[in-house]
Chains A and B, each alone.
Chain A
Amino acid sequence: MTATINSEINSSNSKGGNQVSTAEERKAAIHRMYDETNKGNIEILNEMLADNFVSYGGAGFQDLHGPQAFIDLYRTFVAAFPDLKFNVQQVVVGDDMAAVRGIQTGTHLGNFLGMVPATGKHVEWTGTAIFRYNAEGKIVERWQDLDNLSLFQQLGVIPAFGSAGG
């Protein structure tokens, strides 16, 4: 990414007018967050998430309130997939928001969500997360959609038929 990128976050018309980070700084912070969680440093989320953080469920998950609840969910994924990685493919930032799309990979060595016993399979699925930031640059809201159908098919929970959508 170059400094000339067409982004609204560096311009003066930002919503609220109190942005503390540039587009490049926010991107760097997102990459750092995933680099660290990929290495198992889940505690970094305490640094990135605001105290009043909310992660909206959708996609079969409950709404979670506060950093700790999200860290706990993350740990249930790591328990099921100890080598869990999220490989960032695209980060798009604007105004008080950022979106990340990538491919998640892992080897299914532990029980997943208390309902899928370990299969030993290597699985991968795509996912997208969208974050909203507060004026201090911390994440206050998170939404996600992931290819949960493909994941469950790869784990053998659901028979294979078409996965993605138009």
Chain B
Amino acid sequence: MAESYNKQVYRRFVEEVINKGNISIIPELYHPDYVDHSAPPGAPHGGTVFEQVAAVPKMFRGAFPDVHFTIEQMVEEGDWVATRVTGRAQHLGRPFMGMNPTGRKVTWGSMGFFRMKDGKIIEHYGQPDLLGLRTQLAAKPEPGSLDENRAVVTRYVYEVNMQNFDAFDEFVDPNFVDHDPIPNQKPGIPGLKDAYRMFTTAFPDVWFTFEDLIAEGDMVIGRGVIEGTHTGNFMGMVPPTGKKLHWTGTRMFRVKNGKVTEGWINLDFLGLLQQMGVIPQT
């Protein structure tokens, strides 16, 4: 039997808005008189319906860039649809509920009641298991576990994003080997700091977000996106263009005893130089 229209509306919200971040379809799914009785912590009060609804995927996807909700159950009666979903994600992005990114893989349940009017969601009561989610994020990982290795790499990337290079000693091995150094990079932590400063000079707001992170044995590898505004000279050769630039990167690390010992990186330098206008588009 085909799924009812109301259920399809909720499914589109989950599969398009939450799982893909496609907030542009919110007006097709939410009624202009929408009222959320259970806005999650951090969601804005007031503002337009679009702003209120869009804040939820933005917050989740900001903290959990690979967030994925699976619809387990939908029950419909009259103009109400009751739903049960399972969220799965890694905490790779921004801080969430007061916790800096942990790299932790989490799974949590959430139930919701949605009232429909004119084929759109007009009212919502929800109960996400935020305590269960927070408990998983706060749990201390076992030494040497995949969770710990993910936490180390996630912290490394976060502290680099925050340009808190003084914290490196806490999670970078003194004999760190950079397999993809910049030209003439010094060995160890001092060289690593120089390499990052080269980027922060060119892009003072540079930010790397992992969108996937895979751990096995002592290796952690992930892909992500980098954003930054080009307001400084890049590698001593490209004067600032003032442009907001966006490129991809894949990073691999070896982690031993709670510290990163080796690093590899592939960046879309070509795309970056093309956006700077140094190289013509391919």
Contacts and interface: CB of A to CB of B under 8 A. Distances in A.
B270 A149 contact: yes
Interface stretch (A28-36, A37-45, A69-77, A158-166): A158-166
Given A6-B146, A92-B214, A113-B282, A164 B221 contact: no
B181 A164 contact: yes
A158 B269 CA distance: 12
Nearest to A7: B216
Contacts of B198: 166
B47 interface: no
A115 B282 contact: yes
B235 A149 contact: no
Interface in B189-248: 192, 194-196, 198-199, 212, 214-223, 235, 237, 247-248
Interface centre among A90, A128, A145 (most CB of B within 10 A): A145
A163 B268 CA distance: 11
Interface stretch (B12-20, B31-39, B114-122, B259-267): B259-267
Interface residues of B, number: 46
B235 A8 contact: no
Chain B contact residues: over half helix, strand or loop, or mixed? mixed
A162 B182 contact: yes
A161 B237 contact: yes
B199 A128 contact: no
Contacts of A58: 247-248, 268, 271
A92 B178 contact: no
Contact of A23 (B145, B216, B266): B216
A148 interface: yes
B271 A99 contact: no
B270 A166 contact: no
A2 B196 CA distance: 36
Interface in B114-144: 144
B196 A166 contact: yes
Q: How many A residues touch the partner, as a band?
A: 35 or more
B151 interface: no
Interface in A58-107: 58-60, 90, 92-95, 97-99, 101
A91 B183 CA distance: 27
Interface in A109-164: 113, 115, 126-128, 130, 132, 143-149, 152, 158, 161-164
Interface string B42-84: 0000000000000000000000000000000000000000000
B166 interface: no
Contact of A166 (B195, B237, B252): B195
B250 to A, nearest CB: 4
B29 interface: no
Contacts of B220: 92
A5 interface: yes
Nearest to B272: A149
A163 B271 CA distance: 13
26 contacts: A6-B145, A6-B146, A7-B146, A8-B146, A8-B215, A8-B216, A23-B216, A58-B248, A58-B271, A59-B271, A60-B268, A60-B282, A90-B221, A92-B215, A92-B216, A92-B217, A93-B216, A94-B215, A94-B216, A128-B252, A145-B267, A146-B266, A158-B273, A162-B182, A162-B235, A164-B182
